[in-house]
């Protein structure tokens, strides 16, 4: 089974450097163009199913990719972005963003989703789809935050704990294969 993963297209909050977890932000003009480019890049790829985050920016991206394909889309809350809680809408430079993404530090917050809880949510999703769709080639349309535990699920957590280097850019595509 093979998985293709893409991050949603650009939003205004991406441009402003604001973190957008559960905030339901739409794509901006560039984000729509990025999704259209991704649709072209995936034209020749066999895709049996799209599993998408229920947040607008991911749904818009999936709809653009799927515009001429008619691939079934399933929305799954387990691949919605990490809940930034008290940091939602704050610029990344205005809080310890690196610490927030440190698996080793495993910081606890008042409202924001703990990193190990977040990883567990994504790992459980990946375990489940491995068995539910073992004969399918799946496109996951999600978020930058989701790209980090997906990478770690297949490749392990980097020893240097620098998880931010694993973050997919808007509409970047990654491929993973279950062994």
Catalytic (active-site) positions: 8, 81
Residue 56: Cβ within 10 Å count: 15
Q: Identify the H or E element spanning 153.
A: helix 144-155
Distance CA 144, CA 141 (A): 10
List the one residue out of 31, 39, 33 whose CA is nearest residue 8.
Answer: 31
For residues 69 and 47, is the Cβ–Cβ distance under 8 A? yes
28-33 long-range CB contacts below 8 Å, 24 or more apart? 31/57, 31/60, 31/61, 31/170, 31/171, 32/60, 32/64, 33/9
């Amino acid at each position: 089974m093979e998985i293709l993963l893409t991050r949603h297209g650009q939003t205004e909050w991406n441009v402003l450097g604001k973190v957008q977890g559960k905030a339901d932000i739409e794509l901006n003009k560039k984000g729509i163009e990025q999704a259209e480019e991704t649709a072209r890049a995936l034209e020749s790829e066999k895709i049996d199913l799209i599993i998408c985050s229920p947040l607008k920016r991911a749904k818009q991206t999936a709809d653009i990719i799927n515009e001429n394909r008619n691939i079934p889309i399933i929305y799954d809350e387990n691949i919605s972005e990490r809940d930034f809680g008290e940091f939602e809408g704050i610029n990344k430079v205005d809080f310890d963003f690196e610490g927030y993404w440190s698996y080793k530090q495993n910081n606890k917050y008042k409202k924001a989703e703990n990193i190990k809880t977040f990883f567990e949510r994504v790992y459980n999703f990946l375990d489940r789809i491995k068995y539910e769709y073992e004969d399918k080639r799946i496109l996951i349309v999600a978020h930058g935050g989701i790209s980090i535990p997906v990478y770690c699920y297949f490749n392990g957590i980097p020893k240097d704990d620098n998880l931010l280097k694993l973050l997919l850019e808007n509409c970047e595509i990654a491929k993973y294969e279950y062994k």
